[in-house]
Amino acid sequence: MFVIVTAMALQRFEKLSPDRKQRLLAAAAGEFATKGYDRAVLSVIAEKSGMGKASVYYYFADKVDLHATVLAEAWKKLGAEGKIDLKTLTAETFWPEFETVTLKNLELCNREPWLLAVSKMLNRAILNPTGKGVISEYVEKRRAWEAAFIGRGQELSVVRKDVPPELLMTISLGASHASNLWLLDHMEELGPKKISHLAIQTFKIYCSILSPAFARIAH
């Protein structure tokens, strides 16, 4: 994973202890990921988090705020936008920095199951956008980030220029999010070591698709 929402939690949410905040985010992420926004139930989230429904409403105005906060909190931890300054990248550091962020995000998802749940939800949204609600805001923000990423790569001559930018962005998003989702879906089954190895190999494939070298071979 940017600030993706206009609705936000009440300020008192920030005053929660780290443990209570983590339990609430985990319960909400699990409910939204498994049932979707429309079918998610606040009382179920409250029960799973160990808090009463009244307490949830003390920290959030409604389900929209809670959903938005879960996504925003996940992006604070996972978003490349907050970890990489595109302007300072060079041809030598461009791909290595993105690889480092990818591997660190997988490690975070392995350590914090609620991030795993949200990551799956957001990667599915990129692959199958519905154009509705907070998720659509994420999709648009993610596309804007991808456009900036590709543009910077082309400036540095490490991303191919032989196809229209919009098409290249569509290919890039499709490849990266489909592979991300596969890795996330198999994380618990394969374990962190195997997933890390596969992530590196997948990243190499992704780089080759976008690289000028692959374009020359294709011609």
In a domain, 158, yes or no: yes
**159: nearest Cα among 123, 211, 124:** 211
The pLDDT of residue 6 is 42
* Other CB atoms within 10 Å distance of the CB of residue 145: 18
Determine contact, residues 180/123, Cβ cutoff 8 Å.
Answer: yes
Residue 116 lies in a domain: yes
pTM of the model as a whole: 0.81
Q: Which domain holds residue 70?
A: 11-218
| Most confident of the ranges 16-25, 50-59, 202-211 | 202-211
Look at the chain and report how many structural domains it folds into: 1
User: Has residue 112 been placed in a domain?
Assistant: yes
Q: What is the pLDDT of residues 106-118, one digit of tens each?
A: 999 999 999 999 9
Q: Greater confidence, 32 or 134?
A: 32
| 1 in any annotated domain | no
Residue 6 lies in a domain: no
| 102: helix, strand or coil | helix
Three-class secondary structure of residue 156 per DSSP: coil
Q: Any idea what the CATH number is for the domain that residue 118 is in?
A: 1.10.357.10
103 is a domain residue = yes
In a domain, 5, yes or no: no
Q: Are 98 and 84 in contact (CB under 8 A)?
A: yes
Tell me whether residue 3 is in a domain.
no
